[in-house]
Structure 1
Amino acid sequence: MAVRKKIAAVFATVALVTAGCGADSGTVNVSSGSDVDCGAFEAYLGHEGTTVTLMRTVNNLDVVNLSAALRDFSDCTSIKVQTVPSKDVEGTVTKTAGTKEAPDLAVISQPGLIKDLASAGKMTPPSKEFTDNAPQNYAKDMLSYATVNGTLFAVPFASSVKSLVWYSPSAFARAGYTVPQTWADFYVLADRIRAAGVNPWCDGWESGGATGWPGTDWVEEAMLRLHGPEVYDQWIAHQLPFNDPKVAAAFDWVGRVLKTPGYVLNGTPSIAPTGFGVAGLPVLSGKCYFYRMAAFYSSFFPRGTKIGPDGDIFVFYNPPVDAGRGKPVEISGDYLAAFADRPEVAAVQTFMASADFGSKFLKSGLGIPSNNKIPLEEFTNPVEKLSVQLLRDQNSVLRFDASDLMPGAVGAGTFWSEITKWINGQPTATTVANVEASWPK
């Protein structure tokens, strides 16, 4: 029998604890003033008066939205979820996992780190309830990236599709262009656009200390499309050396797009110094037609931009090389990992893995939840809806961002720096050899 609880003027106070960034700390008060059906939270009762810390890379607005998504849970269970913002979640948990300084829960975007910490015995597996239901709620590939020796150690939390190309549907309609279905079609269309006196592509890889990461996405897309998922997996595991001819071929495939004269707005030399956040905006003004970037890029367009299949800007699936080999889809994502073995921590983690929380998370604008049980009609943002359709498509071959799975010295190190040198003219053979030489022995 459902229990009903009247929530009137309840204030959830969230401590803003900053991690080593010199920012001021403070509090955010979130008010609730509505009836809440607490029957939905009966499974999480019995831990009243406890506190669970949750570390995530968020800004102050995200803290408010995340707190709002958790408000009913906290009001009904009396478990306080304290959001701990951090600009370096992975670095923090690497230093603190296994100690009392570690957060109870952390949202981690590097599955390779999860496997390292789990192998070292510094993580707590999810509850049996979650593990039993996980195969029905999440894509098999998403679960595999957080599984060590048959044990699942983290909950898929949010996903982002990277295999997308931004374009202007209205500009396409005016020019009579159609969305390419294979890369052979893409080259034909690019040449047609160039012949009309317009650069087909925009691109930019500048990202401060992370400059070059958009280039690694290009190579990852090429590896998956040219060689398939098995070779892609071997590459990540270093069973295929980074200087293997297959990897060099992927670089050269990217070069055919970004180093072909007339293909890129302002020329190939402009790519490395152009910020990725502004690089795709010229698509709106017709200065270029394509920008390869993940779903999250929708937030970079000016307020009032109509985003959708009939709008000023939208996305299409980055097509395969061979349409007969399925849909290769590169993804990135976050995982909710536990570093404390307490029942209230398990309760929060299990709730945050539920479709109920996923729906609240989606409505809060915090991202695309990974849970497959959220009805498709709840995804009202057209880019998010297309992304979810790709994630749930049985023909999709999902593979996680390779650089996030490689050792940090490579994936967030030499891969970034060497591909930047490559786009600036360094030979492919030198580039792949340098990255290979940096791989930890």
Structure 2
Amino acid sequence: MLSSRRAFLATTGTLLLAGCSSDVLGLRRAVRVAVSWSGQELRAFHKVLDGLGTLDYPVEVVPLGDDISTAFATRSTRRPDVVMLPQPGLVPRHLDDLEPIPDDLAPLGRARLWKDLLVHDGTTYGVPFKTAHKSAVWYRPSLFQQVGVQPPRLWSDWLTLNRTLTQAGVTPLSLAAGDGWVLTDFLENILLGIAPSVYEGLATATDPRPSQQPQFAAALRLLGTMWSAPDVLAGGVKESLVQQFPDALIEVFGHRRAAMVLASDFAEPVVRSFAADPNDIGLFTFPPMGPGAAAPVVVGGDVMVLQEPTTDDARDLVRRLSAPTAADPWIKEGGFLVDGRVTGYSPELTRLAEQLTKPGEQLHFDLSDRLGRLGDINGLWRVLTDFLIEVGGRGAAVVPGAVDDAVAEMRKVEEG
């Protein structure tokens, strides 16, 4: 899930340290931790490290942003020992670079959300650190009340809600199309909502071919119905295409030029920073696609992996960060969920956490991550960006042709 959401409130290219670098002091070698976070998220992670207490070794944090995968490229003594990987789907492709997780931590990687990604041939290669709920929609309740509408119970209700808002002179959606993963989140929720078996089949296939699945085209048609509606997107397609994740949140809660935004739990700090009224923050989750259907729940997250050869200090740090209370400082900051935990959050995030732990809830991991190159910036991201350009605000009549074009473009990606 690489994205500029990693730049959240600010960006930084500065190397930040917890403790002191052993390269400077000539003492015990530092444990180097590669992260994709910056800004508020990076500051929150440092608070987590500070909360671990006095360590027998220094910890050096290396912010790599969207280039986090380069952590696996270097073989020098400066290579990271621990990688906080925002794309768990990369784990199977880097098994030769990784050390197994210590036996006492291995059960954490075998939880229902993670085992298909982190366990290979019976060996666990990662530990979950941060969970992301990717089926959340943030909105302003006061605006809904003003127009006389409620959060949607079904997909069709959402389309009706958008039309009602538009007729009242309110722009329904803010869309961070500058971050392609936001577009894939939309499609993934729809596909999971209409065809969970197809979603899971694509996620686990050795040679996935979305273009060959009729349900993939059906999901595109449904998505096109929403995006093609006139005046549904704040700033239209042109502004949506250059709008990144934090800006889309600010559009709703800061500039107040849109009613709602599809945004994961980690949006919370930005939402609270820019909301004019802290009590005017609402959240609903992606609705079922039809009566009797289950609501889609798409999940992502960041996992800790150990690069080989590892050290006892690196294992110790992963063990400490895996402790049940280790993330408390970040949870207090907001925008952080721990798999299996339902306490300590804001009311909005508590709702999301409870859904992720609800017995019988069908949770499915981020499909674009599972698709590998097919789901990345040159794959599904680009296909959906072109799809948005073709349908955005232009009316339902353009959708069938745009769907055909998107399927054909996806087929080229698969064959490439």
Q: Does 1:184 align with 2:156?
A: yes
Please state whether the residue corresponding to 2:113 is helix, strand or coil.
Answer: helix
1:112 offset after TM fit, Å? 2.0
**1:162 is matched by which residue type in structure 2?**
K
Cα distance in 1 for partners of 2:174, 2:34 equals 35
Q: Matches of residues 353-372 of structure 1 in structure 2 within 5 Å? A: 353-363=322-332, 365=333, 367-372=335-340
Please state whether the residue corresponding to 2:226 is helix, strand or coil.
Answer: helix
Cα distance in 1 for partners of 2:217, 2:350 equals 35
Give the one of 235, 241, 251 matched to 2:202.
Answer: 235
CA 1:395–1:186: 2 relative to 1, 3 Å: farther
Please state whether the residue corresponding to 2:202 is helix, strand or coil.
Answer: helix
Question: Which of the pair is proportionally richer in strand?
Answer: 1
Q: Does 1:336 align with 2:311?
A: no
Taking only the aligned residue pairs, the percentage that are identical comes to 21
Q: Does 1:250 align with 2:219?
A: yes
Q: Does 1:57 align with 2:36?
A: yes
1:295 maps to: 265
**1:339 is matched by which residue type in structure 2?**
Q
5+ long unaligned stretches in structure 1: 1-20, 31-47
CA 1:281–1:26: 2 relative to 1, 3 Å: closer
CA 1:179–1:288: 2 relative to 1, 3 Å: same
**2:303 is matched by which residue type in structure 1?**
Y
CA 1:399–1:179: 2 relative to 1, 3 Å: same
Q: Report how many residues are paired.
A: 386
1:108 offset after TM fit, Å? 0.4
1:194 maps to: 166
Please state whether the residue corresponding to 1:201 is helix, strand or coil.
Answer: coil
Please state whether the residue corresponding to 1:157 is helix, strand or coil.
Answer: strand
Cα distance in 2 for partners of 1:162, 1:60 equals 21
2:5 maps to: none
CA 1:85–1:255: 2 relative to 1, 3 Å: same
Q: Does 1:142 align with 2:114?
A: yes
Give the one of 61, 83, 92 matched to 2:70.
Answer: 92
5+ long unaligned stretches in structure 2: 1-10, 21-26, 391-400
How far does the alpha carbon of each residue in 1:267-303 deviate from its partner, in whole angstroms, 9 at most, with x for none?
A: 4555324444333444346643232222223333473
1:409 offset after TM fit, Å? 5.7
Contact 1:403 1:415 in 2 (8 A): yes
Please state whether the residue corresponding to 1:129 is helix, strand or coil.
Answer: coil
Give the one of 290, 293, 304 matched to 1:322.
Answer: 290
Please state whether the residue corresponding to 2:195 is helix, strand or coil.
Answer: helix
Q: Matches of residues 199-278 of structure 1 in structure 2 within 5 Å? A: 199-207=171-179, 212-228=180-196, 230-236=197-203, 237=205, 238-268=207-237, 270-278=239-247
Cα distance in 1 for partners of 2:350, 2:141 equals 17
Contact 1:159 1:367 in 2 (8 A): no
Cα distance in 2 for partners of 1:384, 1:113 equals 27
Cα distance in 2 for partners of 1:350, 1:67 equals 17
Q: Does 1:430 align with 2:400?
A: no
Please state whether the residue corresponding to 2:61 is helix, strand or coil.
Answer: strand
Cα distance in 1 for partners of 2:48, 2:238 equals 44
Cα distance in 2 for partners of 1:334, 1:62 equals 12
Contact 1:354 1:371 in 2 (8 A): no
Q: Does 1:69 align with 2:44?
A: no
1:378 maps to: 344
Contact 2:137 2:261 in 1 (8 A): yes
How far does the alpha carbon of each residue in 1:398-433 deviate from its partner, in whole angstroms, 9 at most, with x for none?
A: 222222222236422132222222111172222222
Cα distance in 1 for partners of 2:100, 2:129 equals 15
Please state whether the residue corresponding to 1:377 is helix, strand or coil.
Answer: coil
Contact 1:328 1:396 in 2 (8 A): no
Q: Which moved more, 1:108-117 or 1:385-394?
A: 385-394
CA 1:348–1:163: 2 relative to 1, 3 Å: same
Q: Matches of residues 142-161 of structure 1 in structure 2 within 5 Å? A: 142-161=114-133
Cα distance in 2 for partners of 1:292, 1:82 equals 34
2:381 maps to: 416
Please state whether the residue corresponding to 2:259 is helix, strand or coil.
Answer: strand
1:109 offset after TM fit, Å? 1.0
